[in-house]
Structure 1
Amino acid sequence: MTSNAPWPQHGPPGGNGQRPLLPQQTNPTWMGQVRPGHYLAAPANEAPAVNTVIPPGAAGGRTAGGVIGLLVGGVFLAFAGLFLVLPYLVGNTGVTGFVVGFIASLVPLGAVLLAVYVIDRWEPEPKRLLLFAFLWGAVVSISVTLILQPFFALAAAPPVGMDYRTFAVTVQAPVVEEFAKSLGLLLLLVLARKHFDGPVDGVVFAFTIAGGFAFTENILYFGRAIAESGTPGADLAVVFFLRGVMSPFAHAIFTGTTGLILGFAARRWHTGMSVAAFFVGLVPAMFLHSMWNSMGQDFLVQYILVQLPIFVLAVVAIVLLRVAENRLTRQRLKEYAAAGWFTPPEVKMLATVSGRRAAVRWARQFGRGPQMKSFLSAATELAFIRQRILSGRDVPAHQLDEHRQLAEIVARRDAVLR
């Protein structure tokens, strides 16, 4: 995109060639801490003063080619995996069981995807990456699981005193399934790192992968309740209540721990650290998965005393992550405001949910709702680009992204005001 905006000039004040001291408010939260040696002042805006975009009262990685290649590869793997997964499902459920299971599985899937939408509203991930994540979970990770399970059974034997069925449920399934799901997270971090900024992104991608995996697994369980029971209606109701009502987020929470740890690793990008974080993140995911599968006759007691508190803890953690992300966005935009790219009231609007909603409502009165949404999205992306710069990783590439995004901010502001 071309723009008349001047090329932003980076550099410390004073012209002595040294980086500026780390300002006191640079780290407003525990998330995305900036090291003093990585700090760079925001580029100054050499253009005339900006025309503020604010309604009355509202102020209260890799290149795109890597992302496209990732999506194309994911679609190809998913298509190939269907030739393994589909016969497996239909063979275990029958056609009727498969159809009923497919329809019933849409309900818990909808709950997980709704949670993804809510978590991801602040800085939405590209839809093509969410599509990759879903396809990986629903088809590719299932295929990987089906392929690896026989090899795992040959390589690992149950300990003395444990029957094979118990071993398969409490050890084999958690290890193989979490590895298969989390492999997609690792690919996203390595090949689409530009869009994998931190723990919130890790949770979003993990929930999407896990939602896809649970969707396919639920087809199997719901379909079997139809195909293998003398009272299919009653059995389906029981299985649906256990999996679709009591535990739609079970897989999401398991894999979410891996996504969380990989997200923290993304803050300090390094290939070796990412791989190490992948294996570290598998540990809590496998542990939680094994705990869930180990619940037996005292299922209800363990569900109330153990699983419900874990779910509540996961909700609290996600809320804290969102709050920290919002504060980080506000601080990074304040730094651009100090350099002349935004006005202080604009920053207050851009960094609050209520301010954003008021801005969109105001813009809709003049037929500029889509343009305002575009401006809000561009500002959020700019804040995250700055965070990438301050992380000290791939700084020149991200500074180029910053220049393009600042030009985009100018153009999108003009589109709202014209």
Structure 2
Amino acid sequence: MRPGALALLLGGAAALLAGLAVVVPFLLRATGSSGLLVGFVLSLFPLAIVLLAVFAVDRWEPEPRGLIVLALVWGAVMSVAATALIQPLFLDAFGPRSGAAATLRFLATVEAPVVEESAKGLGLLILMLAAHKYVDGPVDGIVYGMTIAAGFAFTENILYFGRFFSETSGSAASLAVIFTMRGVLSPFAHAMFTGTLGLIMGLAARRWSPGLVVGAFLVGLAPAMLLHNIWNSGGEDFFLLYVLVQIPLFGAAALGVYFLRRAEARLTHARLVEYAQAGWFSPLEVEMLATPRGRSAGLRWAGGVGRRPAMRSFIRTATDLAAARQRVLSGRDVRGYAAAQQELLDRIGRERDALLGVSGGRPQL
């Protein structure tokens, strides 16, 4: 392992242990051991819902699983630890000087949006700066933002579910109410907040510049915090706000992701057409590799002959090839592109041979 990678690994492990040293005692104090266990089990349900949505969004050009896990861990541990440490300082510096009701409202409508979105967003910023070659546009930003948010909501749900279990002596009715509110009606709340930040940062990442991404981070925090504030301001009007504001916002977000996925597919198609013009792919292969209908047909055929994993690898490598060329055309990752392109083209050839039994050289692009 290279010294730089080893240092990054050791630093990440140390940060994780430090975060756990803050988060686990914090949860135990708030929930007790029984509440912690109940909260953990119940929190798996909304976590699974959000992660399934993340995988659905990420299907066209899947992100490295290691980075997805890193994003999830940041959300579940590091952002929660940062929030727990900063919250009392923020309250002391900016909070109301008297009144329990005013303090609770401040925590919900000011402190939570500012501190939590900053803590989650910091992880997104670090990931984009450290692994920028894997962030090609807004869809990738949304995927990482939603994943960090899923981790944060998971730990926050453990706190809420476990605390209600402890405070109500295990009342099933009380637990069912809070589970319905957080686990059924609003599993995507945090995902929408931080996903908005990821969208804005992903747009900036199309033309890579560290300064541009940092600027997008600062700009993107505003709508993320605003959405969080609106969500937490519902109070007694929660259900009215949920129907009139949150459901339309969720629908708009889902529609936006759909159109962004369509745009991502069109870029893949355009880049593979260029390779087809140089003889690396046939027109039929381009349609199979770069359109949703073509991919579905190709996977069905491959499944019928027992080669579905090989077809998945073929599709993934072709998508990586298109993404690498798109980064260069947008002025990113120019250095080392020729060698990376050739490695991907060689892999395409081997995977085609394994899939179809076709052999032979291909011309250079």
TM superposition score category, shorter chain reference:
over 0.9
Q: Which residue of 2 aligns with 1:228?
A: 167
Over residues 241-294 of structure 1, what are the superposed CA-to-partner deviations in whole Å (9 max), with x where a residue is unaligned? Answer: 000011000000000010001100110110111111111111100000011111
| Structure 1 contact 375–412 (Cα < 8 Å) conserved | yes
- Give the secondary structure class of the aligned counterpart of 1:396: coil
Q: Which residue type is aligned with residue 56 of structure 2? A: V
Residue 211 (structure 2) aligned to one of 256, 272, 277: 272
CA distance in 1, matches of 2:151, 2:228: 16
TM-score calculated relative to the size of structure 2:
0.93
Q: 1:71 to 1:409 in 2, by over 3 A?
A: farther
Q: Which residue of 2 aligns with 1:125?
A: 63
CA distance in 2, matches of 1:241, 1:402: 50
Q: Which residue of 1 aligns with 2:94?
A: 156
Q: Which residue of 2 aligns with 1:248?
A: 187
Q: 1:301 to 1:315 in 2, by over 3 A?
A: same
TM-score calculated relative to the size of structure 1:
0.81
Q: Which residue type is aligned with residue 306 of structure 1? A: V
Residues 18-417 of structure 1: pairs in structure 2 closer than 5 A: 73-158=11-96, 163-230=102-169, 232-417=171-356
| Structure 2 contact 133–333 (Cα < 8 Å) conserved | no
Structure 2 unaligned spans of 5+: 358-365
Deviation at 1:69, TM superposition (A): 6.2
Q: Which residue type is aligned with residue 188 of structure 1? A: L
Q: 1:159 to 1:294 in 2, by over 3 A?
A: farther
| Structure 1 contact 71–128 (Cα < 8 Å) conserved | no
By relative contact order (CA 8 Å, sep 6+), the higher-ranking structure is: 1
CA distance in 1, matches of 2:335, 2:21: 44
CA distance in 1, matches of 2:9, 2:298: 34
Q: Which residue of 2 aligns with 1:17?
A: none
Deviation at 1:411, TM superposition (A): 1.7
- Give the secondary structure class of the aligned counterpart of 1:395: coil
Q: Which residue of 2 aligns with 1:3?
A: none
Q: 1:367 to 1:70 in 2, by over 3 A?
A: farther
CA distance in 1, matches of 2:160, 2:39: 8
CA distance in 2, matches of 1:417, 1:306: 52
Deviation at 1:72, TM superposition (A): 5.4
CA distance in 2, matches of 1:160, 1:236: 31
CA distance in 1, matches of 2:191, 2:274: 36
Q: Which residue type is aligned with residue 357 of structure 1? A: S
CA distance in 2, matches of 1:230, 1:329: 55
CA distance in 2, matches of 1:160, 1:79: 36
- Give the secondary structure class of the aligned counterpart of 1:277: helix
| Structure 1 contact 371–412 (Cα < 8 Å) conserved | yes
- Give the secondary structure class of the aligned counterpart of 1:347: helix
Q: 1:67 to 1:376 in 2, by over 3 A?
A: farther
| Structure 2 contact 196–220 (Cα < 8 Å) conserved | yes
CA distance in 1, matches of 2:247, 2:86: 31
Deviation at 1:138, TM superposition (A): 0.4
CA distance in 1, matches of 2:12, 2:143: 18
CA RMSD in angstroms comes to 2.0
Q: 1:221 to 1:167 in 2, by over 3 A?
A: same
CA distance in 1, matches of 2:256, 2:302: 34
CA distance in 1, matches of 2:136, 2:9: 19
Deviation at 1:413, TM superposition (A): 1.2
Q: 1:226 to 1:312 in 2, by over 3 A?
A: same
Q: 1:159 to 1:279 in 2, by over 3 A?
A: farther
Q: Which residue type is aligned with residue 212 of structure 1? A: G
How many residues are matched? 355
Q: Which residue type is aligned with residue 100 of structure 1? A: V
| Identity score, percent | 55
Over residues 58-104 of structure 1, what are the superposed CA-to-partner deviations in whole Å (9 max), with x where a residue is unaligned? Answer: xxxxxx99778656544432222111101111111111111111000
- Flag the structure with larger Rg: 1
Q: 1:202 to 1:154 in 2, by over 3 A?
A: same
CA distance in 2, matches of 1:351, 1:269: 24
